[in-house]
Amino acid sequence: MPDFGNAFSGLASGRTLTHEELVRAVRFMVAAEYEAVQMYVQLAESTGNELAKRVLMDIADEEIVHAGEFLRLLKELAPREETLYAEGAMEVQEMIDSLAGAAGEPAAQSAGAEASDMPETPSLTVGSLIDKG
């Protein structure tokens, strides 16, 4: 989990970062952005205040934009990683195609069920977890 108490946590101090240190720092920033998204969404889901919900969800969207910026930077700094991401995407596509073939449905339908087809699951929020104590 990111350590926000120290802006240079995990980074070299008193000198310029090496390329590998910069790559690691950008990965760290991506993780921090997604952690922030999780926190803002949880808070939005934990309040009945509509203004707070709207503001928190807007900020969560902004954090996703930041993650995209860092991922694009990472693509330039560590191009090999894009190849690995593509490999992972192909593996998932093969699973989607396999499920579609087994069900005799188009891949898009079998891979992503409609919201109405999904069983309703309880939303776990900070408040709901505290109430269950």
**Domain boundaries, given as residue ranges, for the chain:** 1-77, 80-112
Q: Could you report the per-residue pLDDT of 38-95, keeping only the tens digit for each?
A: 999 999 999 999 999 999 999 999 999 999 999 999 999 999 999 999 999 999 999 9
pLDDT at 133 over 60: no
Predicted local confidence at residue 43, as pLDDT: 98
Residue 45, judged by CB atoms within 10 A of its CB (0-12, 13-18, 19+), counts as middle
Write out the E strands in 34-108.
none
Residue 22, SS3? helix
Residues in the chain: 133
Predicted local confidence at residue 31, as pLDDT: 96
Predicted local confidence at residue 11, as pLDDT: 57
Predicted local confidence at residue 129, as pLDDT: 46
